[in-house]
Amino acid sequence: MKASHELTLRGVVIGAIITLFFTAANVYLGLKVGLTFASSIPAAVISMAILRWFKDSSVQENNIVQTVASSAGTLSSIIFVLPGLVMIGWWTGFPFWESFSVAALGGILGVMYTIPLRRALVTNSDLPYPEGVAAAEVLRVGASSKTGAAEGAAGLVAIVAGAIASAAFAAVVATRIFIGEFDAYRRFGHATTGIGISLSLALVGAGHLIGLSVGLAILAGIAIAWGILVPILTTIHPATGGAPMDVAMAVWSHDVRFLGAGAIGVAAIWTLLKLLGPVLEGLRGALAAARTRKEGRAHELDRTERDIPIGIVTGVSAALMLPLAVLLFVFVQGVLPPTVAIPLIVVAVLYIAIVGLFVAAICGYMAGLIGSSNSPVSGLAILAVLGIASIAVLFGHAHPALEQPLLAFALFVTTVVISVATIANDNLQDLKTGQLVDATPWKQQVALVIGVIVGAAVIPPILDLLARGYGFMGAANLHVAPGSHPLPAPQAMLITALAKGVLGGNLDWSLIGIGGLIGAVVVAIDEVLRATGRGKLPPLAVGLGIYLPTSTTAPVVIGALLGYWYERRLRGEAFADLGRRLGVLLASGLIVGESLFGVLLAGLIVASDRGTPLALVGDAFAGPSQIIGTLAFVATVGGLYTWMYRMSRRAHGT
């Protein structure tokens, strides 16, 4: 089967341009709420809308565009760790070459590690790959008849409308006419608990994309954290004075989050154990293909089964270890004595090589199971940082004064591992899309490498802008505008706290252990539900519900319930499939619009040196802003979904 105009210069350029927007959106969203979104679907829609004006374009070329854009956007998940270097005062910003190198080298290694897994986890697997399948649907419809072109136009309208609506709502929140978060915390005797809900359309969109089962699992995590753990812990250790919100949040941040970390760790390990079989199967398939090439029978391999040869994959993977070692040496030069630095770097490179392969397999599997947006990158970051921090303790045991440099080193190494994980998380999803549209795997894998390099170049300046505009919680060394609200960077804060606890010898392992028991119980419940066909309870999503703040998770759950309600309303309609696809695109637009406005607002904050440059009202308006903002939020969400239902009917012509 021949594919024309697949890996083209114009496709790569269009993908790189789209990357600028989606990467910026993902960096902001991740720093604000600890979640990122897969950009494959919106990138596919935009590519389809642009390339349909070229007569010689093809569905495979569209696939290359979304591959470049999505791999670059996914790499932004390194913000789950990298801001920790600013939080501990090691960096005062994000030096370009070090930040670029850590992302690029780890990302390319992630591409290499996923190539041998393609046959096992994509071609010969029944994993659903929800986002990969949806992106393929968008590409195939756009490449088909005039009806498909009309759907492509409708899809672009859905993304743009969602983006405008969410950006406009965020802009009004920035004026303080709408409140940004609704919260209610109460005391019940000594027990204290409550909930905060961010009025964020981006988070509602994220909830739509993750689906009902994951949304309900997150809700279960919220119930465990705020319905059981926080009330119990505030009763055992009652606080004297203080607002209920402050008391509840203090217990959650100091204790409950570490329970969630333990639950996520156990769930990630369980996933790894289940993956050993598919990983070995994929390696056997790659070696068999290599033997076919060596015997001069490469032509017998179908075009859609030709990966980058395993010899090149192995060679590139091995070759990457040298620049990684040089990068680590430059990072610690002058701050660690050679007797500590050299053996530590050797062990760290081996750690990256081995642990990176395992996290690539885990992330690839989870992306296939629940989608790239929901894959447990943060949970794996927790395991990775605990591992390298424990190794660093051994090297620094006789040098207590080296705790700070070793902490920075552990975070830097973890950033490399997370670069591997995030790209593996996205790559197999993209390769699934490619399989469904008859793409050539090796060409798509080259596009993935290009996307990694583009993303690695875009991320550092965006991070630097946001650090200067907002600052990060706990980063006292940053000069930010007076009155600005620091970005919480929740994942980076948690991972930094874990590394600091290990190196300082004061990490409460009992909390992580109890959390691990909670995770084991959830894993057991999930396995029973799956075995009896009664549904599922994704353990990693439950862990997320425990250790992310409700201001982040509650609107995600609302979005998941809204998405379910919307798709249920479509059942039985002739335009149901179209309506579902357009709903996904609307949700993607909601994420993109608010996130891009956040980056824009950061620029305004930096330029004006004011924390609230768009504020029109003061604190005296807080009461009305809560009522007005909440009503406007409900009306906006309801109006958008109603409009999308009607537009689906019109686009279908019924």
Residue pLDDT, tens place only, 561-575: 999 999 999 888 888
Q: Give percent above pLDDT 90 in the chain.
A: 18
In this predicted structure, what is the pLDDT of residue 530?
86
In this structure, what DSSP letter does residue 54 have? S
Residue in this structure with the two tokens 């930010």, named with its chain if needed? 480
| Reported pTM | 0.74
The Cα–Cα gap between 51 and 14 comes to 9
Q: What b/e sequence results for 374-395 when a residue is b if at least 16 CB atoms lie within 10 Å of its CB, and e otherwise?
A: bbbbbbbbbbbbbbbbebbbeb
Backbone phi, psi, residue 572, to 5°: 85, -10
In this predicted structure, what is the pLDDT of residue 99?
92
Q: Give percent above pLDDT 70 in the chain.
A: 82
In this predicted structure, what is the pLDDT of residue 545?
86
pLDDT score of 362 more than 70: yes
| Of 141, 620, 78, 95, nearest in space to 381 by CA | 78
The Cα–Cα gap between 185 and 179 comes to 17
The Cα–Cα gap between 113 and 423 comes to 10
| Of 165, 90, 161, 89, nearest in space to 474 by CA | 89
What's the count of helices (H) and strands (E) in the chain, helices before strands? 25, 2
Residues 442-468, mean pLDDT to the nearest whole number: 88
The Cα–Cα gap between 634 and 450 comes to 41
| Tokens found for residue 156 | 């672009």
In this predicted structure, what is the pLDDT of residue 146?
42
The Cα–Cα gap between 132 and 649 comes to 25
In this predicted structure, what is the pLDDT of residue 3?
47
Q: What b/e sequence results for 477-504 when a residue is b if at least 16 CB atoms lie within 10 Å of its CB, and e otherwise?
A: ebebbeebebbbbbbbbbbbbbbbbbbe
pLDDT score of 295 more than 60: no
In this predicted structure, what is the pLDDT of residue 478?
57
* Greater pLDDT, 93 or 25: 93
The Cα–Cα gap between 175 and 628 comes to 13
Helix (H, G, I), strand (E, B) or coil at 535: coil
SS3 letters for 123-187?
A: HCCCCCCHHHHHHHHHHHHHCCCHHHHHHHHHHHHHHHHHHHHHHHHHHHHHHCCCCCEEEEEEE
* Greater pLDDT, 491 or 522: 522
The Cα–Cα gap between 491 and 422 comes to 14
Terminal C-alpha separation, the chain:
37
pLDDT score of 521 more than 90: yes
In this predicted structure, what is the pLDDT of residue 1?
42
Q: Specify which of 412-416, 424-428, 644-648 reaches the highest per-range mean pLDDT.
A: 412-416
Q: Which amino acid is at 99?
A: S
Helix (H, G, I), strand (E, B) or coil at 453: helix
Q: Specify which of 29-43, 94-108, 269-283, 438-452 reaches the highest per-range mean pLDDT.
A: 94-108
Q: Is 622 exposed, middle or buried (0-12, 13-18, 19+ CB in 10 A)?
A: exposed
Contact 269, 383 (CB under 8 A): yes
| Tokens found for residue 311 | 């010899």
Confidence band for 292, pLDDT divided at 50, 70 and 90: low
Residues 515-537, mean pLDDT to the nearest whole number: 89
pLDDT score of 560 more than 50: yes
Residues 138-151, mean pLDDT to the nearest whole number: 58
The Cα–Cα gap between 537 and 525 comes to 7
* Greater pLDDT, 609 or 353: 353
In this predicted structure, what is the pLDDT of residue 2?
46
Residues 335-349, mean pLDDT to the nearest whole number: 88
Residues 174-183, mean pLDDT to the nearest whole number: 84
pLDDT score of 168 more than 90: yes
CA distances from 152 to 109, 189, 296, 429, 583 (A): 35, 57, 43, 21, 13
Average per-residue pLDDT for the chain: 80
| Tokens found for residue 405 | 């440099």
Contact 305, 389 (CB under 8 A): no
Residues 355-360, mean pLDDT to the nearest whole number: 84
Lowest mean pLDDT of 310-324, 413-427, 538-552, name the range: 538-552
Confidence band for 222, pLDDT divided at 50, 70 and 90: very high
In this structure, what DSSP letter does residue 487 have? B
In this predicted structure, what is the pLDDT of residue 145?
43
Q: Which amino acid is at 108?
A: I
Q: What is the pLDDT of residues 596-651, one digit of tens each?
A: 787 677 667 667 767 678 888 887 887 888 889 889 999 999 999 999 988 888 87
Confidence band for 318, pLDDT divided at 50, 70 and 90: very high
CA distances from 164 to 107, 116, 197 (A): 32, 41, 22
Lowest mean pLDDT of 169-173, 403-407, 600-604, 624-628, name the range: 600-604
Q: What is the pLDDT of residues 7-18, one digit of tens each?
A: 788 888 888 888
Residues 266-274, mean pLDDT to the nearest whole number: 74
Lowest mean pLDDT of 128-137, 522-531, 638-647, name the range: 128-137
Which residues 6+ apart lie within 8 Å of 278 measured at CB? 117, 120, 121, 125, 361, 365
Q: Specify which of 193-197, 234-238, 491-495 reaches the highest per-range mean pLDDT.
A: 193-197
In this structure, what DSSP letter does residue 193 have? E
* Greater pLDDT, 393 or 5: 393
